[in-house]
Amino acid sequence: MVHLTYLVILFAGAYSASAAPCETPAQRKAWHTLTDSEKLAYIGAELCLMEKFPKLTLEAATSRFEELQAIHQSHLGLCIGGRFFRFIACSCMPTRLLSVRNAAMMAIKYTLFPRGAYHRTLCNRAYLAYSRGRYWQEQLDAGSVTSSVLLDPSHGFGGDGSGTDRCITDGPFANFTNHLGLMYNNSEHCITRRLSDRSSKSSAQSEVDKCHAMTEWVGAWRCIEANPHAGGHGGIGGLMLDPIASPGDPLLYLYHTWLDKVWWDWQKLD
């Protein structure tokens, strides 16, 4: 029941958001085009959410950042338990919330939407960063994710994991203790990564083009869900490869806002 409650809240929020006049629409902006101060603002926003106390009494969540991760975890549990919701909601695919063309056919942006609300009410820096639609233009790093600007230790998310535990050791999140996962098992752990240039090739422009060539949404959905989508999770590896607890790595959000743009680009083709 608790899972259903959160989905109802998210749908209600999505409806009210879509009905309200949009006076300052978000502008998408790729990470590699940001100034250093814009990058630091986004990273500061992430750290802000990690410091804020939780309010939703979700199991194991110790911050607002982890509440969003917990919603993702609960959402996937719902997918396993419900046939109806498996159809409309069980996908990592980015979507346009309740858009006229796609309505309930699309999966919900179940963590990106409340994330925007959190930013607005809790962390002004975070809201500014998110509302401008920051995303990781992953085609640029396809096949060479190990040298991505995203992984810069001072103006990015830190680099690869190391050692047998694969914990990240540099960057602003090196000391972050995550309390959710792995999978549905909740215990303290670090952010792990195992970068793979080979896996990141799945996000190449050629793969995006294949999906954009699909004329029906089911085909496009399955195509994006497969290769462009797999490139980010597989290219970063570690926690990002955990289908349940992957939002424990802040890179997940920046990556999925890119997928949202890939989807939006497909929608604009006709």
Which residues bind to Cu ion, rule: CB under 5 A?
A: 92
Q: Which is nearer to Cu ion, 186 or 257 (CB)?
A: 257
- Residue of this chain nearest to Cu ion (CB atom): 92
Least distance CB 40 / Cu ion (angstroms): 26
Cross-strand partners of 192: 167
Look at residue 192 and give its three-state secondary structure: strand
E-strand ranges in 26-143 read: 29-30, 134-135
What's the length of the chain?
270
Name residue 172's amino acid.
P
Q: Which is nearer to Cu ion, 123 or 178 (CB)?
A: 178
Give which of 204, 224, 206, 205 is closest to 266, Cα–Cα. 224
Q: Which is nearer to Cu ion, 10 or 92 (CB)?
A: 92
Q: Which is nearer to Cu ion, 7 or 76 (CB)?
A: 76
Name residue 175's amino acid.
N
Angle at 216 between CA 211 and CA 219, to 5 degrees: 50
DSSP code string of 192-258: B----HHHHGGGSHHHHHHHHT--SHHHHHHHHHHHHHHHHHHHH-GGGG-TTTGGGSTHHHHHHHH
Least distance CB 229 / Cu ion (angstroms): 6
Six-digit token string for 186 = 């909740």
Least distance CB 226 / Cu ion (angstroms): 11
Rounded Cα–Cα distance for residues 194 and 259 (Å): 21
Q: Which is nearer to Cu ion, 155 or 201 (CB)?
A: 201
Q: Which is nearer to Cu ion, 148 or 203 (CB)?
A: 203
Are β-strands 134-135 and 29-30 bridged in parallel, bridged antiparallel, or unpaired? Answer: parallel
Least distance CB 243 / Cu ion (angstroms): 8
Least distance CB 233 / Cu ion (angstroms): 6
Least distance CB 223 / Cu ion (angstroms): 14
